Amino acid sequence: MRYYSTNKKSPSATLQEAVTKGLAPDRGLYMPERIGRMPDVFFNDMQDMSFQEISFEVAKSFFGDDIDDGALKEMVYDTLAFDCPIVEVGGGIWSLELFHGPTLAFKDVGARFMARMLSRFTGEGKVNVLVATSGDTGSAVANGFLGVENVNVYVLYPKNKVSRIQESQFATLGRNITAVEVDGTFDDCQALVKDAFADGELNRRMTLTSANSINVARLLPQAFYYFHAYAQMKRRGMADNIVICVPSGNFGNLTAGLFAQRMGLPVKRFIAANNANDVFLEYLNTGKYSPRPSIQTIANAMDVGAPSNFARILELYQYDHDRITTDISGASYTDVQIKEAIAECYKQHKYILDPHGACAWRALRENLHDGETGIFLETAHPAKFKETVESVINTSVEIPQRLAAFMEGKKQSTPMTNKFDDFKQFLIRSNQPR
Ligand SMILES: *Cc1c(COP(=O)(O)O)cnc(C)c1O
């Protein structure tokens, strides 16, 4: 399968090129040339299939031309070493819990899959993944790539500006993961990474790549759990009139759901739930897209003012605003409303939401019609936002064992200034053959 750029000013790419480059040379996002419909027999049989079996069939539809079945199956089965169960919350609403992976957030699925695909495509040569993080992305990428052969990961993060829980998830790992603690801001971290990608000498000496969420190898596997969710509802005889609500920031997760629908998954409609960063809702309401700087909220993984996957959604619908608003509606909530949702859901159903899932639960509560069944994507475990959640429900949130284990690990970060030359010399030194 070939991948074309949403800007249409670069030649199309192979899967290998799209995955190793990430962004197209014209700065567009790669899109698969075809989105194949899954066969009827798949939909008939899926309720008796495991998460891994379902995902392998979906993966073949995306990647089957480019990767042989044996290798692809291994990638899928390795990635999905944990489940994404559907849990009934109450009032016709179900939670698709995507936080059972190593870093307790849905990004584990895409990051683990991408790590395995990148390792395959780089073969014998070493590749260096650079990632700047303000918290969550760094942990998912670091854990996704931990122990993966031929890949070194450098996680750059701002000193004293990420929570101790977050830092422990990428700075205690060691092995092929190097945490770089930058004396500066998140923007400084991002600038160091950008300068490294643009530096001729560094690129001659070593292979550098990014692992950000625009990569097709992170995006497409996120379709797996939409099919799995549907299969679980089918098993319960609840698969009619399904509405799926996705807490959204860069809109990768929602885009993967729209791909699943295009592959034949019978979802009636989608709702995109936002925090106060509501440029997408504004687009749905007015047809005008006005990206702007993000606002800080308590659902901070959705603090995005210019969602990167917007270009993919436009492309998927051939820029047809009417068709987009037929399939997708939106909602946006302030921090106060997010806290109200956490409190109300706990009071009524004893289900503890995280601030991101809370936006989505509230959007379903307010927008579900008679006869519809709502599923929201619970994108993170509430313990990752322990203080916020506990202050609202007045009950302590238990920290899962695997999160507690990170916090017991020893921090092993490399201190770094925010000057590019220092970072460059460090990269060169650490890539010297021993
Ligand atoms: C990244 C993230 C989101 C937003 O996902 P997008 O694919 O960027 O829309 C939502 N919730 C949590 C917990 C996240 O980490």
User: What parts of the chain have a pLDDT lower than 50?
Assistant: none
CA-closest residue to ligand 1 atom 14: 301
Q: Closest ligand 1 atom, CA of 246?
A: 9
- Position 356 scores a pLDDT of 97
Q: Closest ligand 1 atom, CA of 255?
A: 7
Q: What is the pTM of this model?
A: 0.94
| Ligand 1 centroid from CA 183, angstroms | 26
The residue whose CB lies within 8 Å of the most ligand 1 atoms, and thus the one to mutate among 356, 361, 377, 381, is: 356
- Position 261 scores a pLDDT of 98
Q: Closest ligand 1 atom, CA of 140?
A: 15
- Position 434 scores a pLDDT of 53
CA-closest residue to ligand 1 atom 1: 301
- Position 191 scores a pLDDT of 87
The pLDDT tens digits for 402-419 are 888 988 999 999 999 999
- Position 334 scores a pLDDT of 98
| Ligand 1 centroid from CA 301, angstroms | 5
SS (H, E, C) the chain: CCEEECCCCCCCECHHHHHHHCECCCCCEEEECCCCCCCHHHHHHHHHCCHHHHHHHHHHHHHCCCCCHHHHHHHHHHHCCCCCCEEEEECCEEEEECCCCCCCECHHHHHHHHHHHHHHHHCCCCEEEEEECCCHHHHHHHHHHCCCCCEEEEEEEECCCCCHHHHHHHHCCCCCEEEEEECCCHHHHHHHHHHHHHCHHHHHHCEEEECCCCCHHHHHHHHHHHHHHHHHHHHCCCCCCEEEEEECCCCHHHHHHHHHHHCCCCCCEEEEEECCCCHHHHHHHHCCCCCCCCCCCCCHHHCCCCCCCHHHHHHHCCCCHHHHHHHEEEEECCHHHHHHHHHHHHHHHCCCCCHHHHHHHHHHHHHCCCCCEEEEEECECHHHHHHHHHHHHCCCCCCCHHHHHHHHCCCCEEEECCCHHHHHHHHHHHCCCC
The pLDDT tens digits for 29-52 are 999 999 999 999 999 999 999 999
Please give the positions annotated as active site.
107
- Position 268 scores a pLDDT of 98
